[in-house]
Homo-oligomer: A and B are copies of this chain.
Amino acid sequence: MKNGKVTLLSAGPGALDLLTLRAARVLGEADVLLVDDLANPEIATLAPQARVIAVGKRGGCRSTPQAFIERLMCRFARRGAHVVRVKGGDALMFGRAGEEISALRRAGVPVDIINGVSSAFAAAAGLGMSLTHREHCAGVTFVTAHRQDGSAPNWAALAATGTTLAIYMGLHRVEELSETLLAHLDAATPAGAVQWAGSPQERRMVTSLGRLAADVRAAGFASPTILLVGGAVGEAALAAVEPSAAVGVDVGEAAADVVHDVIARAA
């Protein structure tokens, strides 16, 4: 029997052609696919031999407990399967990869990781802005709106860093978090929101920190939405980039051909 293993694979922000070449190749080799519900479900078409199992747990509704996902990965790998655990965005950003790597190591299951494009990068591309424009900041911070223990991150310190803030899973707390940030940042600080960044359904807006909560509510933004706060976001407001190329709406057909070619080659 061949040796099983687990690959933590980054599905990127949505459009299939934002997968890496390595990811496309490895999908073609998968025996079992465990797919996160933030990943584009069409990714399964790239793994024609694989048994596909959806293991979503969106927005607090934990339909698949984490421990169960970990047991499932170990069980299939021990039977010799190449298990590909597909995660939206980059696998190493906000996706329980740390816990899964630990569980697999404890079980003696080999694990490897294939990187990808995290949603905040796609959000910045959609807005046509650098995340780290050097006239505005020294870097960028990717943060969730709440910690594992339910506490909030240290917004005062985050504001003081002067980095662009890219806030994941923050929409449901946008009133609270923008109010907290307003204690440390000017209301005129540029802010933006991008829903379904990097997918054909992408929606974007640029506003100010003072208006962020009201504006995203009025526009009906829903999860998943990335919020961006900081001087660098002000560059996005100057002009729109070419939306088709930035969000990949019109490359569907071509991308599918390319992907199928990669798969044919890997098979």
Q: Which residues of A contact B (CB under 8 A)?
A: 5, 7, 12-13, 15-22, 24-25, 90, 92-99, 101-102, 105, 110-118, 121-122, 124-125, 128-136, 138-144, 147-148, 153-154, 156-158, 160-163, 168, 198, 232, 235, 238-239, 241-242, 245-246, 248, 251, 254-255, 257-259, 261-262, 264-266
Copies of this protein in the assembly total 2
Residue of B nearest to A102 (CB): B235
Expressed in whole angstroms, the minimum distance between the Cβ of A242 and any Cβ of chain B is: 5
Determine the distance from Cα of A81 to Cα of B133 in the docked complex, in whole angstroms: 27
- In the complex, are the beta carbons of B25 and A17 less than 8 A apart? yes
Residues of B near A138 (CB, < 8 A) are 143-144, 147, 153-154
- In the complex, are the beta carbons of B157 and A113 less than 8 A apart? no
* A94, A96, A113 — most chain B CB neighbours (10 Å): A113
- In the complex, are the beta carbons of B112 and A245 less than 8 A apart? yes
Residues of B near A153 (CB, < 8 A) are 138-139, 161-163
- In the complex, are the beta carbons of A17 and B7 less than 8 A apart? no
- In the complex, are the beta carbons of B22 and A98 less than 8 A apart? no
Residue of B nearest to A240 (CB): B105
Q: Do A198 and B262 form a contact, CB below 8 Å, given A130-B101, A132-B93, A138-B153?
A: no
